[in-house]
Amino acid sequence: MIIDCHGHFTTVPASFRNWRAKQVEFANDPVNAPALSGAHVSDDEIREGVGNGQLKLQQERGSDLTLFSPIAGLMSHHLGNERTSLAWATISNDLVRRVCDLYPDNFVPVGMLPQSPLAPPKNSVPELRRIVNELGFVGVNLNPDPSGGHWTGLPMTDKSWYPVYEALCDMDVPAMIHVAASCNVCHHGTGAHYLNADTSVFMQLLQGDVFKDFPSLRFVIPHGGGAVPYHWGRYRGMSLEMANRPLEGLLDNIFFDTCVYHQPGVELLTKVIPVKNVLFGSEMIGAVRGRDPFNGQYFDDTKRYLDGCTALTDADRQAIFEGNARRVYPRLDALLKQRAQQTEAA
């Protein structure tokens, strides 16, 4: 089985995006705020968006299952207030659950949290527990910068984040570190802000002792880890000098996906980072949707890059395509085992 650990519902209908825009516009005017019913997406609209988008490309490119979450850019925790963030997270998570119910063999749900720049992280814990315990989500996206590119909050090593980590460990659920849209004109969203965040959070974790306090906590850093694999020697040296410990110890808790859109980049990632810490991901349909004019292939067809890594063994590919995801997301593994047993019983 080929499991894509990184997919978003980027093909939602325009009406869903329009409802969000009105919700933000009237964030401080509850009387005139749009009714929740206005955000409803029909099953036919889901089929049109996903069926002609993610599902079609999933089948064409040869993957089997995608961990599916709300649109990262539209999380936009910097917009509105804590009340609107909670409503938006609830609506978005419920919609992802419906996608997975319509296509249970193709998608498994991962959620977003109702974070807000003005709210302590602990306020997101009830929604985290709801989506995992009640809706069967196997993971969550955790935004390290709810301010949208201004980084006004505290680093992820600060103890204000600990209630979220306690809940993640209690439910044995990993978090993908994923920012949302950038409202800072200096930082393009997907070209700078995303990669800056991936790199920044890794450095925060290097400087702190979060994993000493939470040894079972697991983070997936997307987009190939930003600058981390490329500058691995820099971080190894800093870890020894600043934290007096080998950097490799962080690899018990930190994992990277393969959302790197060229062959040399994926080869570097899989050469520098141990295979056990690499999860197949495509971000499809995401940051880059077009084709490479040199070969006519889609940039975000990341499976073909792994297929082209001649240094990888069959065992390596099995781990990256399936085994690592099932280990890092134990609720996914349990779900797949349950389905296999049901199939055998039938």
Question: Encoding tokens for residue 165?
Answer: 């980590």
Q: CA 4 to CA 18: how far, in whole Å?
A: 29
Q: Exactly one of 82, 267, 283, 322 is catalytic; name it.
A: 283
Strands (E), the chain: 3-8, 65-69, 107-111, 139-142, 175-177, 219-221, 254-257, 278-279
Taking CA 249 as the corner, what is the angle to CA 244 and CA 251, rounded to the nearest 5 degrees? 140
Residue 228: CB atoms within 10 Å: 24
Q: CA 201 to CA 253: how far, in whole Å?
A: 13
Residue by residue, DSSP assigns 127-193 as HHHIIIIIT---EEEE-S-TTSSS--S--TTSGGGHHHHHHHHHHT--EEE-------TTS-IIIII
- Among this protein's residues, is 283 annotated catalytic? yes
Residue by residue, DSSP assigns 55-67 as HHHHHHHT--EEE
Q: With H, G, I as helix, E, B as strand and everything else as coil, classify residue 4.
A: strand
Contacts of residue 47, defined as CB under 8 A and 6 or more positions apart, other chains included, come to 102
Cα dist from 322 to 4, 230, 243, 262, 317, whole Å: 8, 25, 33, 21, 8
Cα dist from 70 to 77, 172, 343, 345, whole Å: 13, 21, 29, 34
CB-count burial class (<10 Å; 0-12, 13-18, 19+) for 122: middle
Residue 30, phi then psi, degrees to nearest 5: -55, -30
Active site residues: 283
